[in-house]
Structure 1
Amino acid sequence: MEYPPLREYGLIGNDDRCALVSRHGSIDWCCFPHLESPSVFARILDAQRGGHFAVSPTADYESNHRYLDRTNVLETTFETADGQATVTDFMPLCNGGEPDDDRFQQAIYRYLECDRGRVEFDVEFAPRFDYARTEPALERTDDGVLATGNGERLQLAADGPLARTLEITTSTTATGTVSLEAGEQCWCWVQYGGREPASSADQERVLDETKRYWREWVGSRDSAPDSMLERWHEMVIRSELVLKLLIHHETGSIPAAATTSIPETIGSDRTWDYRYNWIRDAKFTIQSLHDTGHTQEAREYFEWFSDIARTDPASITPVYGLHGESGDELEERSLEHLAGYRGTGPVRIGNAAGPQQQLDIYGTIVQAVYETMQFDSATTITGDEWGAVRDIVDHVCNHWDERDAGIWEFREERRHFLHSKLLCWVALDRGIALATENDLEAPLDAWLEERDAVREAIEERGFSEKANSFVQHFETDEALDATALLIPIYEFLPPADDRVQATIDAVLERLTTDDGLVVRFVDSDIRRDEQKGFFLCSFWLVDALVLSNRVARAREYFERLLEYATPLGLYSEKVDPETGQLLGNFPQAFSHLGLINSVTYLTRALECDGEVTPADFDPENVETLFRRGDSPGT
C-alpha cells in the first residue's frame, strides 16, 4: 500500500481521542486510551508494520468523503461498476445514557449502507499495540475478534453476515467480507479496554446522539454576522470542530496536532511529536475560542494555564503534556522500527523542547490573562493568580536580555530573537495594564523602566536599516522572520509606523509567494532558507495587512489560502507552494486558530468599510462571531 497524501484524510474523534480515516476507508492512525497514548493503528507512519482497520469495496472504486453538516461524523462514499455505498465513521459522544463512563468513548463505529445496486466490502483488522512494538494475539469471539497484548485489549465486533465471515487469516490480522444490496446496512466497531462492545441495536441511537452533540455545540447556522461570507462561515465552523476534537475534556489543554512525526519536508529529519500543549498557543487560542462564542472552553483553557503560571516562573516550560506533565518529563525518543510517513524518519515520541529556555512563553501567559479578563466579564483575578502574574513579570525584568531558543525552537543555537523580546515587552506592558486597570499592587516604577529598556533594545537592535525591516534576531542585518508581522498585532507599534509598513513590504517581497503563502524565515545564519509555506504565518500576514488597511490584498491572500485546505476543510502545519502537498503534523491546531482569527479581522474590516484601527479589535468593541442561539442547532 502507498501512503495517501494528507489531504485524503479525515479526522474523527471525541474529547481527547482522535483517528485519521483515509478516503479509501482505512483508519491509519489512532491512539487509545488518549490522544497522546501509544498507537493501536499507525499505518500512516509505516505502511507495512503500523497497523490499520480498513473497510473498502472488493471491486475497483471511486471514492470521496464529507462531514455530515456541522459534525465530526465522516461519510465516505464508494462507487463501483455495480453500485454505490456509504461508510459512516465516528467516535461516540452521548448527551444521555453514559456520559460519565470514559470507556464508552474509547470506541470507533463504522456504519456500512448500500445506496444503490450491490457492493461487496472487505474488512481488514490489523491492530498493532504500543506503536507497533507489540504484535497482538487474536482470538475469535461470538460476534468478532479480540486482540490482546502488552496488557491491552481491542475488540472488533460486527453484526449480521459480516460477523459470520470474520476469520483470523494470519497471527495478527483478521478479515471478513459482506455483500450489501440497495437499502441493506451493516455495523462494525472496535472497542478499546475491558468494556464489552455495545449491541448493534444501540448503534443508531449513538449515531443520532453524536450528531446532536456536535450540532448543539456548534450552535445555530444563522448566527454569523451579515458581513461574513458564507464560505468563511463554513471554514470557521470546521475549524471550531477541529479544535473541539483536540481539546482535552479533563484538563482543557489543547495539543498542537493530532499526530506525531509527519515530516515538515519529505526526506527531512524534521519530524516532531505535536501531541502536547505549547504555552505560546495561549493568546491565539483564547482569542479564537472567545471569537467563536465558546466561553466555557476558553475559561477551561484559561484555568489550565493559570494553574501552570502559579509555579516558579523559572520552572515553567514551553510545552506540557495534556494531563499537566511538565516539559521536562516529555522525554523524546525515536522509534527505529517504524519507517515514517512516506519513508521519512525518524518517528519520534515525546518532545525535547521542554527543557529549552523560550522567553516568549511569559508574554503569552500574561497576554492570555489580560485578554481573558477583557473578553469575559465574569473572570476576575484572585490574589494567588495576581501573585503568579507578578512573579512572571518580575522574572521577565530579570531575564529579558538573555539569549533563548526562540519560537522556532532552534536546538543548537541561542540568539536574542526579536519575537522573544517582543513577547517580553508584552509581558511587561500587559502586566502594567492589569495592575493599573484593576488597582493591583505591583512595582510599577521598575516594570515601566524595564518596559522602556525592552522597547529601546527592539527599536535599536531589532530593526535593520540595510534590510529596511525588523529582523529575526539582534545579531543580523539580513535574516527576515515572519514573526515580525506580530509587531502591530501585539500593538508594540501602530500599523501606520513607517518601520511596520517597511517590514510588511519586506515580508511580501522576500517571504511570500504570489498565492500569499509565507515561509517562516530567509537568509538566517541559523538554518538554511525554508521553501515550504507555513500556514499560521500566512494568516498573520492577512491580519497585518488588514490592520494596515490593505484589506483588498488581505482578502485576496485569504481566499487563496482557503484553496490549500483539504476537501474536508482541514489544514496541516505547512504546504509545498509548488505542488500543494500538505506537510507537517495534521490537522494542526495553530493553522485553524490562525484561520479563525483572520476571519475575525477580515469580517471586522468589512463592517468598518475597510478602514480599521487596532481599537476596532478591542474585545469591548467586538461581538463574538458566533453567538449561541436561544435553541440548539439541529
Structure 2
Amino acid sequence: MNKDSSAYLPIEDHGVIGDLNTVALVGLNGTIDFMCFPDFDSPSIFASLLDAEKGGSFSIHPTHDGMKHRQLYLPDTNVLLTRFLSDAGIGEVTDFMPVEALKEGHELIRRVACVYGSMEFRMQCSPRFNYGLSPHKAILVNANEVQFTSEGPDGIGLRLKSTVPLQLAEGDTDAVATFRLKTGEKADFILEYVTCDTPSAVDLEEFVTHHLYETINYWKDWVANSSYKGRWMEIMNRSALVLKLMISHKYGSMVAAPTFGLPEEVGGVRNWDYRYTWIRDASFTVYALLRLGHKQEAKNFVDWVDRQCDDIKDAGYLRLMYTLEGKLELEETVLNHLEGYKGSSPVRIGNGAYDQIQLDIYGELLDSVYLYDKYGAPISFDFWNDLRRQVDWVCDNWHRQDEGIWEVRGGKRHFLYSRMMCWVAIDRAVKIAQNHSFPLPNRWVEERDSIFFSIHHEFWNEELQCFVQYKGADTVDAATLLMPLVRFISPKDPRWLSTLKRIEERLVSDSLVFRYRTNEAFDGLAGGEGTFSMCTFWYVECLAKSGQVDKARLYFEKMLGYANHLGLYAEMLGLKGDHLGNFPQAFTHLGLISAALSINDILEGKENKRKI
C-alpha cells in the first residue's frame, strides 16, 4: 500500500458532472481526478484517483494555503460549484458539461471566478491517455490553446482553450497557467474533442455563459417533469439527477457506476469495473423511473433490453452484463502500472463475472418488462415472442446451480435469491400473458408453483427459523430482503418476520446492513468489505412494509446522514462512515428511491391505492 495516502482525496469528497456520454469526478480541492473520455467505457484520460503519479488530472486551485473548501450543486441541476474561502478572498469554480441532448457533447467546461478580494490561481491540465499507458504530445497552438494528441492505439486528440495565457510544462506533456483575478473577474477553460466546433478563445466567455444557462435550464426542466411530490424531495431529486447522469443518451442503457477500480476495502483486492449495464438493474431502474414520472428514460431502457433479447435469439444466452452498446466485450484485465486508490491493487478493467451463470437475471428482466408493459406502454408481440423463449428456458433450468447475485468467485450453489427470481420471471410472464390474453402454457403455472414450494421446503431452516442463503446453509443473506419486495411472500408473514429478525441479528449493525459475512466459505475472495448501502435501503423498506414504519423512517433518515456533502453514495460504507467501492453507485440510489416511495406511501395512506 502507498504510504502517502494523503495524495488521495476520500472517495466521498467528490462531486460528479456529466454530459450523458460520460462523467467527471470533481474533488473538493478543485481537481478532476477521474474521467473516461469520450464515453463511460472509454479509456481514462484522468485517473489520479487510482494513481496519484501516473493517472493524470485537471486541477484548478488558489496558490496560497489556508483555504476552506465548500462544494454544492446549483439546486436541481448537475452544475457543480467548488468554493475556496479565506480572509484574503473567495474563489469559485463552476464545473459542467453541456449535455448531448442539447448538442453533441464531448466538452468539459470550467469557469473560475473571484467572488471577493483578489486571488491567484494555478491551473494544470495533465491528461494521461489510455489508462496512462499511451504517451502523448502537447502543442501550444497559440497563447490560449493547447492540443494534446495520444500516440497510442486510441489516437485520441483533445484541445484545451482558455481566456488566460497557457504554457507547456512537464516535458511538454501538460498545460499550465497561473493567473490573478479580482472581484467579479472570470477565467474560462474548455477541454474538448479536437473535432468540436467551438469559438476561438477570444469569444469564449460569451460561449461559456450561454451554455451554462442552457445546461442549468436543461436540468431544471428535467427535474420539473418528475411526478413525485412527497417527502424528502431534495434527496429524491438528487438521486434521480445522478441516475440520469449514468444513462447513456446514445443507447438508453445505464452504467452500474461510472468508475472502475475503487476498492471495497482500502488495500484490498475487491476492485471491480462497474462501467457496464447489468440486466439485474433493469427492474429497479424501470420501477424507479416510472414511479418518478420519467417515462422516456424507462422506455429507452426497455428498448435497450428489447434489443438484447432480439440479438441473442436463443434462449438461455442472456448475460448478466453488457457494454452500453449491448456487446459482450468485457474481458477482465489488470492495469499493473497503476498502484490503485491508496495502494489498493489490482486495478481491473473489464469484468470477469460477465460469463457467469446467474439465474436471477431472468427475474429482473421479466419484472422490468412487466412493470413497463403495465404502467408505461404495451410491449410488442415480437418482443413477447423473444421473452417467451427465455421463460421456457427458465422452466427447464430453474433447478440449476449458479454464482448468485453477488457474483461470488467461490463456485456455484443453489442460491435462494436465484431460485426466487426464477419464480419472479415465470410469475411476471404469466401476468403479462394474462394482461394481453396471449397464449399461456399450463406448464408455466406448474413450474412457478414448483419453485414456490421448493423455496418454502428446501431453503427454510427449521432450527434457525429463517430462509437461508443457499440450500443446506446455516447463513443468511441480505438479498433475501427482496422476498417481500418482489411480492414472493407477504411482508407480514410469520416466516418472513422470523427471517427478518435473523437478518437483523447477523447482518445489521445499528441500521447498516452487510450483504453477507465475507468469512463464509462460498465467497472465494480474500479480504473484507463495508456495509452495503443498497441493502440498508432494502432493509428499511422491509421494515416499513412489515408495519414498523416509525423504525423504518428513523433508519432511513439516519442513512441519509451517510450520504456525502452532495447527497451522493458509493457502493459501501466503512466503519468510519467513509465511502467504499465505485462511486456514485446507481443501485444505492435506486434503493434509496424505492425505500422513500414505500415509506411515503404508507405515511400518506396510499400503500394500497397507488397504481405502481
**Matching residue of 2:522:** 526
Per-residue deviation at 1:382? 2.0
What whole-Å deviation, never above 9, does each CA across 1:43-85 have from its counterpart, x for those lacking one? Answer: 0110011000100000011111100111100001101341111
Aligned equivalents of 1:263 and 1:531: distance in 2? 9
Q: Secondary structure at the match of 1:342?
A: helix
How far apart in 2 are the matches of 1:174 and 1:93?
25
Counterpart for residue 3 of structure 2 = none
Give, in whole Å, the separation in 2 of the partners of 1:297 and 1:95.
13
CA 386–224 in structure 1, closer or farther in 2 if over 3 Å, else same: closer
Q: Does 1:58 align with 2:63?
A: yes
Contact 1:156–1:189 under 8 Å retained in 2:
yes
Q: Do structure 1's residue 484 and structure 2's residue 480 form an aligned pair?
A: yes
Cα gap change, 1:572/1:166 in structure 2, threshold over 3 Å: closer, same or farther?
A: same
SS of the equivalent of 2:7 reads coil
- For residue 267 of structure 2, give the secondary structure of its aligned residue in structure 1: coil
Uncovered stretches (5+) of structure 1, i.e. residues with no partner: 620-634
- The residue aligned with 1:591 is 588
Equivalence for 1:449:
446
Deviation at 1:91, TM superposition (A): 0.7
Match of 1:458 among 444, 455, 465: 455
Which residue is equivalent to 1:177? 178
Q: Which residue of 2 aligns with 1:147?
A: 148
TM-score by length of 1: 0.91
Task: Pick one of 8, 14, 19 that aligns with 1:3.
Answer: 8
Pairwise CA distance, 1:171: 3.1
AA aligned opposite 2:551: R
In the alignment, which residue of structure 2 is the partner of 1:494?
Answer: 490
Structure-1 separation of matches of 2:533 and 2:262: 15
> Superposition RMSD on alpha carbons, in Å?
1.6
Check whether the contact 1:479–1:525 (CA below 8 A) recurs between aligned residues. no
**Residue in 2 aligned with 1:357?**
357
Counterpart Cα distance in 2 of 1:313 and 1:569: 41
Quick one: which amino acid aligns to residue 172 of structure 2?
S
> 1:617 offset after TM fit, Å?
5.5
Task: Tell me which residue corresponds to 2:17.
Answer: 12
Tell me the CA shift for residue 466 of structure 1.
2.0
Cα distance, 1:93 vs structure 2:
2.8
3-state DSSP class of the match of 2:147? Answer: strand
SS at match of 2:148: strand
Moved more, 288-297 or 516-525: 516-525
Displacement of 1:9 in angstroms is 0.4
Answer yes or no: is 1:315 the counterpart of 2:317.
yes
Distance 1:531 1:51, change over 3 A: closer
**Other-structure match for 2:238:** 238
Provide, for residues 400-445 of structure 1, a one-character-per-residue CA deviation record: whole Å limited to 9, x for no partner. Answer: 00000100011231000000000000111111112222210131x2
Contact 1:519–1:530 under 8 Å retained in 2: no
Partner Cα distance (1:80, 1:363) in 2: 55
Unaligned runs of 5+ in 2: 1-5
Q: Structure 1 CA distance, aligned partners of 2:108 and 2:50?
A: 20
Where does residue 507 of structure 1 map in the other structure?
Answer: 503
Structure 2 Cα separation of the partners of residues 224 and 403 of structure 1: 40
Contact 2:263/2:581 (CA < 8 Å) preserved in 1? yes
What is the CA distance between 1:144 and its match in structure 2?
2.3
Q: How many percent identity over aligned positions? A: 39
TM-score by length of 2: 0.94
Question: For residues 606 and 530 of structure 1, do their structure 2 counterparts lie closer, same or farther at Cα, with a shift above 3 Å needed?
Answer: farther
Residues 472 and 480, structure 1, Cα contact 8 Å, conserved in 2: yes
> 1:616 and 1:557, CA in 2 relative to 1: closer, same or farther beyond 3 A?
farther
Question: Distance in 1 between the 2:293 and 2:592 partners?
Answer: 16
Q: CA deviation at 1:530?
A: 5.3
Give the whole-Å Cα distance in 1 for the aligned partners of 2:363 and 2:421: 5
Residue 139 of structure 1 and its aligned partner are, at CA, apart by 1.2
Q: How many residues align?
A: 593
Question: Which residue of structure 1 lines up, in the alignment, with residue 402 of structure 2?
Answer: 404
In 2, distance between residues paired with 1:616 and 1:460? Answer: 33
Is the 8 Å Cα contact of residues 520 and 530 (structure 1) preserved in structure 2?
no
Matching residue of 2:533: 535
Q: Structure 2 counterpart of 1:506, which letter? A: R
1:284 aligns with 2:281: no
Report if the CA contact (8 A) 1:51-1:127 is conserved.
yes
User: Structure 1 CA distance, aligned partners of 2:101 and 2:35?
Assistant: 24
Alignment check: 8 A CA contact 1:334 1:346 kept: yes
SS in structure 1 at match of 2:491 = coil
Aligned partner (choices 195, 205, 211) of residue 210 of structure 2 = 205
Shift of 1:197: 4.3
Answer whether contact 1:41 1:127 (CA < 8 A) is retained: yes
Match of 1:419 in 2: 417
SS at match of 2:169: strand
Whether the aligned pair in 2 keeps the contact of 1:272 and 1:348 (CA below 8 Å) is: yes
State how far apart, in whole Å, the 1-side matches of 2:529 and 2:160 are.
44
1:37 maps onto 2:26 in alignment: no
CA contact (8 A) 1:94 1:210 kept: no
Q: Which stretch has the larger CA shift, 490-499 or 267-276?
A: 490-499
Question: Does structure 2 retain, via aligned residues, the 8 Å contact 1:309–1:365?
Answer: no
Indicate the residue corresponding to 1:622 in structure 2: none
Q: Does residue 605 of structure 2 align to residue 608 of structure 1? A: yes
Counterpart residue identity of residue 87, structure 1: V
The structural deviation recorded for 1:618 is: 4.7
Cα distance, 1:135 vs. partner?
2.5
- 2: distance between equivalents of 1:385 and 1:50? 44
Question: Once the two structures are superposed, what CA deviation does each residue of 1:221-250 show, in whole Å capped at 9, x if it has no partner?
Answer: 9x643xx33xx1111101111011110011
Task: Output the CA distance in 2 between the equivalents of 1:55 and 1:29.
Answer: 14
> Alignment partner for residue 84 of structure 2, among 51, 69, 78?
78
SS in 1 for 2:75: coil
Once residues 94 and 584 of structure 1 are traced to their aligned partners in structure 2, the CA distance between those partners, rounded to angstroms, is 28
In the alignment, is the contact (CA less than 8 A) between 1:74 and 1:88 conserved in 2?
yes
**Cα deviation, residue 513, structure 1:** 1.1
Aligned partner letter, 2:171: T
**CA separation of 1:529 and 1:598: change in aligned 2, threshold 3 A:** farther
1:314 aligned counterpart, secondary structure: coil
Q: Which amino acid aligns with 1:582?
A: H
Q: Is the 8 A contact 1:95 1:209 kept in 2?
A: no
Instruction: Work out whether residues 339 and 346 of structure 1, in 8 Å CA contact, stay in contact via their aligned partners in 2.
Output: yes
Give the Å deviation of 1:295: 0.3
Cα shift at 1:167: 3.2
Q: Which residue of 1 aligns with 2:31?
A: 26
Distance 1:530 1:28 in 2: 26
CA 1:145–1:168 in 2, change beyond 3 Å: closer, same or farther? farther
Q: Which residues in structure 2 correspond to 1:329-340 (within 5 Å)?
A: 329-340=329-340
Q: Is the 8 A contact 1:601 1:617 kept in 2?
A: no
Determine whether 1:473 maps to 2:470.
yes
Q: Quick check: 1:489–1:544 contact (8 Å CA) kept in 2?
A: yes
Matches within 5 A, 1:248-397: 248-310=248-310, 311=312, 312-326=314-328, 329-376=329-376, 379-397=377-395
Q: CA deviation at 1:531?
A: 5.3
2:21–2:100 CA contact under 8 A, matched in 1: no
Three-state SS of the structure 1 residue aligned to 2:369 is helix
Give the corresponding residue for 1:92: 98
User: How far apart are the structure 1 equivalents of 2:256 and 2:81?
Assistant: 25
Alignment of 1:88-237 (within 5 A): 88-93=94-99, 99=103, 102=104, 105-142=105-142, 143-149=144-150, 150=152, 151-159=155-163, 162-163=164-165, 165-195=166-196, 197-199=198-200, 200=204, 201-219=206-224, 224-225=228-229, 228-229=230-231, 232-237=232-237
One-letter amino acid matched to 2:89: G
The 1-side partners of 2:439 and 2:82 are apart by 59
